[in-house]
Amino acid sequence: MSSHPSADGDVTPARPARPRVVLGVSGGIAAYKACELLRRFTESGHDVTVVPTAAALEFVGAPTWAALSGKPVSAEVWTGVHEVPHVRLGQSADLVVVAPATADLMAKAAHGLADDLLTNTLLTARCPVVLAPAMHTEMWEHPATTANVATLRSRGVVVVEPAEGRLTGADTGKGRLPDPEEIFGLCADVLARGALAPDLAGRRVVVSAGGTRERLDPVRFLGNRSSGRQGYALARAAAARGADVTLVAANVTLPDPAGVKVERVETTAELREAVLQASVGADAVVMAAAPADFRPTGESTVKIKKSADGSAPTISLEQNPDILAELAATRVAEVVVGFAAETGDSTGGVLDLARAKLARKGCDLLVVNDVSGGAVFGAEDNEAVILAADGSSTEVPRGSKAALAHVIWDRIADRMGPRA
Ligand code: CTP
């Protein structure tokens, strides 16, 4: 970091510059969601210039963008020509993100057309570029769009997979703009890492997240406090690095990560089935979920009632299968990764117990959280040690769950063989 002398002669660190973001908006109904994305950027200290296309301005007017960004807004290259905006914006940006990116915008970007300020900016940008497409399913699946997306990805552009759901009319399908919060998280990731090498492109990975629930009766269950945040961060990070990601989520209330297939399950038995099925032939599987180790022996079909004499019912439990151990034993996926939250006990310290667990489970990597000092459940950050079956280990200092997710993928990528 650079320093500069203050007025009284002390050398104080220079305040890091605010990251410069160009937010491109092309002409789709989802343009209104870009207002939310813009707010997330400005509220977290980014310097944002909005560059809409003329069609985007049909959906959301320039005054909205100008008021939210605090900067003048133009769609064409003829405003403020003396400042050469068509070159300057792209050259000076730390990140260009286009949300929504229409089929037309991506076609122009793939072919290097430059007929307005946004397409000029895309041609002059030397920073990471993220495109978040939104369009009707037919347009997304058209061979022309597929080819344009492939071209853009081959050049290192991060093209986010659209979400599935309700589209503009009454129809539903793939093509929705992912949640603005998700796009923001991805952009923050890209900015933090400088660029995201698509090093997991062509890889298929499976991540489990959340905590399973074992039904006692129609209204009660045995569960745990896992929020699913670390698993979701892993899925998000892998998608951002180009992987085809299946996320098996047990009772998680977080929004679906952009560009990830999400399968929802409730119990350990359902989690096992979904994970084993998705893992066949996968390059990696990461068990970040907290499956319940026990389930009630037989679910009551009627609500268990209080007894008149005040005695409590006895609940008998049986053990659930260990999914991680099964994945490691069957080797359906190439790299098998587990998690362990440990406190240490009279038989050994946290790392001793974790080493023993790694050997017992037979996985390739075990991500160990020391939870002696307090729970990590639901927290925004995490610290861990990643133990490997070959005896090596990586200490990851306290930081965001996204940062830990990327280090875990780095270690997994080290262990993957050549692409099929
Ligand atoms: N796990 C699993 N199936 C289970 C229980 C746990 O796949 N039925 C996975 C978790 O997803 C995690 C790892 O195993 O990746 C470690 O879980 P943990 O509960 O620490 O392991 P246990 O074998 O239950 O060990 P302990 O006796 O310490 O509870």
Nearest to 65 by CA among 42, 88, 97: 42
- Which of the residue ranges 182-186, 312-316, 319-323, 396-400 has the most confident prediction, judged by mean pLDDT? 319-323
Nearest to 325 by CA among 363, 268, 364, 277: 363
Using the atom order of ligand 1, give the atom closest to the CA of residue 327: 7
Distance (Å) from CA 288 to ligand 1 centroid: 10
- The residue whose C-alpha atom lies closest to atom 27 belonging to ligand 1 is 357
Provide the pLDDT for residue 5. 41
CB atoms near residue 195 (< 10 Å): 13
Provide the pLDDT for residue 107. 98
Question: Is residue 323 in contact with ligand 1, taking CB distance under 6 Å?
Answer: yes
Provide the pLDDT for residue 139. 96
Nearest to 27 by CA among 2, 51, 63, 1: 51
Q: Max Cα separation, the chain?
A: 88
The hierarchical CATH code for the domain 18-193 is: 3.40.50.1950
- DSSP one-letter string for 351-379: HHHHHHHHHHHT-SEEEEEE-TTS--TT-
Provide the pLDDT for residue 375. 54
Q: Indicate which residues carry an active-site annotation.
A: 224
Question: Is residue 221 in contact with ligand 1, taking CB distance under 6 Å?
Answer: no
Provide the pLDDT for residue 9. 43
Distance (Å) from CA 340 to ligand 1 centroid: 7
Digit-coded pLDDT (tens) for 266-315: 999 999 999 999 999 999 999 999 999 999 998 889 999 988 998 998 99
Q: How far apart are the first and last CA of the chain?
A: 42
Question: Is residue 340 in contact with ligand 1, taking CB distance under 6 Å?
Answer: yes
pLDDT of residue 45 exceeding 90: yes
pTM of the predicted structure, to 2 decimals: 0.81
The length of the chain is 420
DSSP state of 205: E
Give 204-415's CATH code, choosing from 3.40.50.300, 3.40.50.360, 3.40.50.10300, 3.40.50.2300. Answer: 3.40.50.10300
Contact 350, 356 (CB under 8 A): no
Provide the pLDDT for residue 109. 98
pLDDT band for position 194 (cuts 50, 70, 90): confident
Domain ranges, ordered by start, for the chain? 18-193, 204-415
Fold match, 18-193 / 204-415: yes
Provide the pLDDT for residue 377. 62
Contact 55, 129 (CB under 8 A): no
- The HSE-up count of residue 61 (CA atoms within 13 Å, CB side) is 2
Digit-coded pLDDT (tens) for 8-20: 444 444 545 899 9
Contact 97, 34 (CB under 8 A): no
Provide the pLDDT for residue 3. 40
Contact 19, 91 (CB under 8 A): no
Does residue 302 sit in helix, strand or coil? Answer: coil
Distance (Å) from CA 207 to ligand 1 centroid: 15
Provide the pLDDT for residue 399. 87
**Separation of alpha carbons 340 and 378, rounded Å:** 16
Does residue 324 sit in helix, strand or coil? Answer: helix
Phi, psi torsion values for 73, nearest 5 degrees: -130, 135
